[in-house]
């Protein structure tokens, strides 16, 4: 190839790769399914399209897969409804009629909060995509009566009470988008503090804020020690910020390019992962309890190889909940190599939660990491999780129709959970157990100690 041609080819390839990045998310993530739920709520639970509506369509299970996968996900498991259902008989006796899926009780205690279903809104941090949508996220989660996380660096980047950028909400506005819409006694907020937020004493600020005080008193506030995140375990939060924000944050974060010396539209901003040993963590958890006795204490763990020892420490220190975030969890910004090579898949995190249950650890566990439907929730609960946390589905749903989109999506997810649990002949989440799970893969069946369905 002559030189100008090579150049042209490279140029075309580079443009294509930008488009491909966007397309790759659309292809690999069930965006369409979430959009349908956000638009139509429970109407989207059936696989009708605009062309084949009820009465004219003939439908069956989709046996295809979107793509080849490198590792197992919760989609390699199925739920196994039985024909003989003693628990359904119990429920019928209680109700004096045949039970329906609407009779399933979904209320769940998650980490000191009451939630209307075994689901939480995962912590999203300071990245613009989450921050700009935060008024919708907060309102919808609060109205649905599920807990919501507030991720790292929000106050440090966007200001605690005073906005650092006129068009963007402050931390407090994001917090009160939730608190003001709460459907008490359901829900609660879980607030993270990065190493850099700690510099500004974020938790102390919240704990001494007179407007937050009533919510702390009623037990609706948790502080979450972040030990990592699914998409980049072992790495700190990363994002890009504009020049004026970068200059105000210099000194608190690591900037590979000095915003005072190099001219850029956006600057990479790295936060530290934080250093822990078992004794540091224990002491930190105790200090937290001593300093903020009326706040709940949560831990968010990335997909680390020593999850099980961490669970033991958390149980001994009487932490209110531990969230384990699998490697396929969402992210505003993570290095490609981290997404590819760092950490345990969500299902492997769930396997460790299951081991913890077998050991008898009585801790509430929340699982997250590319979970997006009722099936994921019921499977996770069957293997020992208390609840799941979703992140990206809420952002997609907010993008479709704001807070209404999220509440439609939640309605649909709630009905999915009810249908699946009732199909198992059960009407209470706590009855859902390992017996309800089967594996489509033999190795996975062995690893999780559940039946291989083709036996």
Partner 1 sequence: MSVPPPSDALKSSYRLVRDPRFQRVLRVQAVLGSAIREYLNREGFLELLPPIIGPVSDPGIRGAKQATINFYGREYKVMSSAILYKQMMAASLGKIYFFSPNVRLEPLETAATGRHLVEFVQVDVEEAEATVENAMARAESLLSHVSDYARRELADDLAAFPRTLNGGTPPFRRLTYEEALRVLADHGREVPYGVEIPWDHEEFLSSLYVEPFFIRDYPRGARGFYDREDPARPGILRDFDLLYPEGYGEAVSGAEREYEYAKVIARLRETGENPSKYGWYLDMLREGIPPSSGFGIGIERLTRYVCGLKAVWEARPYPKVAGIYSP
Q: Are 344 and 326 in contact (CB under 8 A)?
A: yes
Q: Are 182 and 142 in contact (CB under 8 A)?
A: yes
The C-alpha atoms of residue 322 and residue 299 are separated, in whole angstroms, by 5
Q: How far is the CB of 219 from partner 1 (least distance, A)?
A: 13
243/438 with CB nearer partner 1 = 243
Spell out, one character per residue from 254 to 273, where the chain touches partner 1: x when CB under 8 A holds, - when not.
------------------x-
Phi, psi of 214, rounded to the nearest 5 degrees: -60, -35
Cβ partners under 8 Å of residue 35, min gap 6 = 396, 397, 400
CA atoms in the 13 A half-sphere facing the CB of 303: 27
280 binds partner 1 (CB under 8 A): yes
Q: Are 425 and 85 in contact (CB under 8 A)?
A: yes
Q: How far is the CB of 203 from partner 1 (least distance, A)?
A: 8
Helix locations, 159-254, DSSP H:
171-179, 195-199, 202-207, 213-217, 243-249
Helix locations, 195-333, DSSP H:
195-199, 202-207, 213-217, 243-249, 278-291, 307-316
Q: How far is the CB of 249 from partner 1 (least distance, A)?
A: 13
Phi, psi of 78, rounded to the nearest 5 degrees: -125, 160
186/203 with CB nearer partner 1 = 203
293 binds partner 1 (CB under 8 A): yes
Applying CB under 8 A, among 196, 224, 373, 416 the residue interacting with partner 1 is: 196
Q: Are 384 and 354 in contact (CB under 8 A)?
A: yes
The C-alpha atoms of residue 169 and residue 154 are separated, in whole angstroms, by 10
Q: How far is the CB of 320 from partner 1 (least distance, A)?
A: 13
Q: Are 154 and 202 in contact (CB under 8 A)?
A: no
Applying CB under 8 A, among 113, 158, 176, 207 the residue interacting with partner 1 is: 207
Nearest to 193 by CA among 68, 100, 298, 42: 298
218 binds partner 1 (CB under 8 A): no
24 binds partner 1 (CB under 8 A): no
123 binds partner 1 (CB under 8 A): no
Applying CB under 8 A, among 217, 218, 305, 442 the residue interacting with partner 1 is: 217
261 to each of 164, 245, 301, how far by Cα in Å? Answer: 21, 14, 36
Applying CB under 8 A, among 6, 17, 43, 287 the residue interacting with partner 1 is: 287
279 binds partner 1 (CB under 8 A): yes
Q: Which stretch binds partner 1 (CB under 8 A): 1-9, 70-78, 183-191, 278-286?
A: 278-286
Q: Angle 338-344-346 (CA atoms, 0-180°, nearest 5)?
A: 110
161 binds partner 1 (CB under 8 A): no
Spell out, one character per residue from 315 to 354, where the chain touches partner 1: x when CB under 8 A holds, - when not.
--xx------------------------------------
160 binds partner 1 (CB under 8 A): no
Nearest to 202 by CA among 300, 288, 278: 288
289 binds partner 1 (CB under 8 A): yes
176/207 with CB nearer partner 1 = 207
80/216 with CB nearer partner 1 = 216
Q: How far is the CB of 207 from partner 1 (least distance, A)?
A: 5
Q: How far is the CB of 247 from partner 1 (least distance, A)?
A: 12
Q: Where in 384-423 is the site for partner 1 (CB under 8 A)?
A: none
Q: Which stretch binds partner 1 (CB under 8 A): 63-71, 180-188, 274-282, 405-413?
A: 274-282
Is 212 strand, coil or helix?
Answer: coil
290 binds partner 1 (CB under 8 A): yes
Applying CB under 8 A, the site for partner 1 has a residue count of 35
102/277 with CB nearer partner 1 = 277
343 to each of 299, 307, 364, how far by Cα in Å? Answer: 17, 11, 22
274/451 with CB nearer partner 1 = 274
Residues at the interface with partner 1 (CB under 8 A):
193, 195-196, 198-199, 201, 204-205, 207-208, 210, 213, 217, 225, 272, 274-277, 279-280, 282-287, 289-294, 317-318
């Amino acid at each position: 190839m002559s030189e100008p041609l090579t150049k042209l080819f490279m140029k075309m390839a580079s443009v294509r790769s930008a488009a491909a990045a966007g397309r790759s998310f659309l292809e690999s993530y069930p965006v369409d399914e979430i959009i349908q739920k956000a638009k139509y709520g429970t109407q989207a639970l059936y696989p009708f399209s605009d062309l084949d509506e009820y009465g004219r369509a003939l439908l069956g299970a989709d046996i295809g897969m979107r793509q080849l996968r490198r590792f197992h996900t919760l989609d390699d498991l199925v739920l196994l409804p039985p024909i003989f259902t003693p628990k359904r008989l119990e429920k019928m006796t209680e109700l004096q009629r045949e039970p329906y899926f609407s009779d399933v009780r979904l209320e769940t205690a998650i980490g000191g909060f009451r939630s209307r279903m075994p689901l939480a809104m995962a912590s999203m941090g300071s990245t613009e995509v989450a921050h700009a949508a935060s008024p919708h996220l907060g309102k919808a989660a609060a109205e649905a009566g599920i807990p919501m996380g507030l991720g790292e660096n929000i106050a440090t980047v966007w200001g605690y009470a005073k906005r650092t950028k006129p068009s963007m909400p402050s931390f407090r506005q994001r917090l009160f988008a939730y608190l003001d819409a709460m459907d008490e006694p359901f829900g609660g907020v879980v607030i993270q503090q990065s190493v850099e937020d700690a510099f500004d004493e974020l938790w102390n600020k919240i704990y001494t804020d007179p407007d937050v005080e009533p919510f702390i008193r009623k037990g609706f506030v948790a502080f979450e020690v972040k030990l990592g995140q699914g998409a980049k375990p072992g790495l700190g939060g990363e994002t890009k910020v504009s020049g004026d924000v970068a200059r105000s944050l210099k000194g608190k974060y690591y900037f590979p390019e000095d915003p005072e010396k190099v001219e850029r539209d956006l600057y990479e901003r790295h936060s530290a992962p934080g250093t822990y040993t078992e004794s540091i963590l224990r002491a930190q958890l105790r200090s937290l309890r001593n300093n903020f006795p009326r706040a709940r204490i949560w831990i968010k763990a990335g997909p680390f190889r020593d999850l099980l020892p961490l669970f033991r420490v958390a149980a001994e220190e009487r932490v209110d909940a531990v969230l384990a975030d699998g490697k396929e969890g969402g992210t505003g910004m993570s290095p490609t190599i981290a997404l590819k090579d760092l950490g345990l898949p969500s299902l492997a995190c769930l396997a460790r939660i299951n081991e913890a249950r077998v050991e008898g650890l009585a801790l509430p566990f929340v699982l997250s990491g590319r979970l997006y439907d009722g099936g994921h929730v019921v499977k996770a609960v069957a293997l020992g999780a208390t609840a799941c946390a979703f992140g990206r589905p809420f952002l997609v749903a907010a993008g479709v129709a704001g807070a209404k989109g999220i509440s439609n999506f939640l309605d649909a997810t709630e009905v999915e959970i009810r249908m699946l649990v009732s199909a198992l002949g059960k009407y209470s989440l706590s009855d859902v157990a390992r017996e309800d799970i089967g594996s489509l893969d033999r190795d996975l069946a062995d690893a999780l100690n559940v039946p291989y369905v083709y036996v």
